[in-house]
Structure 1
Amino acid sequence: MCAASAARSPESRLRQDRGIGDQASVELQSPASPADLAPGGDLSLRCRVDGVPEPQLEWFHNGVRLFRSERLSFRGRRMHLASLTAADNGIYSCRATSEAGEVDSQTNFALVLEGENVPRISVLPGDVTVRREATARLDCVYDGAAVTEWYARDGDVPLTNSSKVTILPNSSLLVHNVQDADGGLYRCVGVSEDKNAPQQSFVARLRLALPPSVTSHPLDLVVDEGEDTALVCAFTGSPHPVTHVSWHHGERPLREPSPHATFHPNGTLVLRHVGLTDAGEYRCQVNTTGFPPETAKVATITVRGSEGYSSGSLPGVGDPGENTMAKTVTITLGAAAIYMMLVMGLMIWCRFRRARRKAMLLLQVTSEVGKSDDEGGATTELRDKAAVGREPAVRSDNGGDALSHSSGSHSQHSKRSRSSYDRLQYPRHDLHTMMLLGRGEFGDVFLAKARGIREGDQETVVMVKALHSREEWAHADFKREMDMFHKLNHEGITRVLGVSRDVEPFLVIMEYTDWGDLKQFLLATQKESQRKGPKPPPLAQAQSIGVCHQVALAMEHLANHRFTHRDLAARNCLVTSRLDVKVSCPALSRDSYANEYAVHRNRSVPIRWTPAEALFEDEWSTKSDVYSFAVLAWEVFSQGALPQGDKDDAAVLKMLRGAELRWGAPENVPVAFVELLNRCWQRSPRDRPAFGEVALRIGEIFVDSNV
Structure 2
Amino acid sequence: VDDDGRLIIERIQKENTGNYSCVAENIAGRTEWTMNLFVTTKPVITMHPSSITVDENENSALFCNYESESESYTHVRWKKDGKLLGDHEDGNSNNPHIKIFKQNGTLLIESTKISDRGEYICEVVTIGFEPIVSNMATVSVTEILKFVPPPVNKKLELGTVAKIHCKAQGTPPPIIHWEKLGSGLDGFASHVTDMNGTLHFNGVLIEDKGKYLCTASNSQGVINATVNIDVVVAPKFSVQPKNPTEAIEGSSVAIDCVVEGDPKPTIQWDKNSKMNDFDRSRFIVLENGTLFIKEVHKEDENNYGCTAGSSAGLNRKEVRLVVHGRDHQADNGSEGSTVTKAVLITMSVAAAYIILVVGLMVWCRYRRRSRKLPITDSAKTENGDIEHTELKEAANGCGPGPSKVESEDPEATHKEGQKSDGAETTHSQGSSHSKKSKSSFDKLTLSRSNLKEMKLIGRGEFGDVMVARISKSVLSTPTSDKRHSTISSSGPTDEKELPALVKALTQTKDDNSLAEIKREIDIFSKLSHENITKMYGLCREAEPHFMILEYTDWGDLKQFLVATQKGDPPKLSPTQCLTIVQQIARGMDHLSSSRIIHKDLAARNCVVTSKLLTKIGLSRLTREPYSQEYCKHLNQIIPLRWMPYEAVYEDEYSTKSDVYAFGVVIWEIFQQGELPFPKMNDNSFLTKLKEKSLEWKYHKDTPPELQKLQETCLDSHPQNRPTFNTVVTEIEDILKSM
Q: Give TM-score, length-normalised by structure 1.
A: 0.40
Bigger CA radius of gyration = 2
Question: Which structure would you say has the larger RCO, counting Cα contacts within 8 Å and 6 or more residues apart?
Answer: 1
Q: Give TM-score, length-normalised by structure 2.
A: 0.38
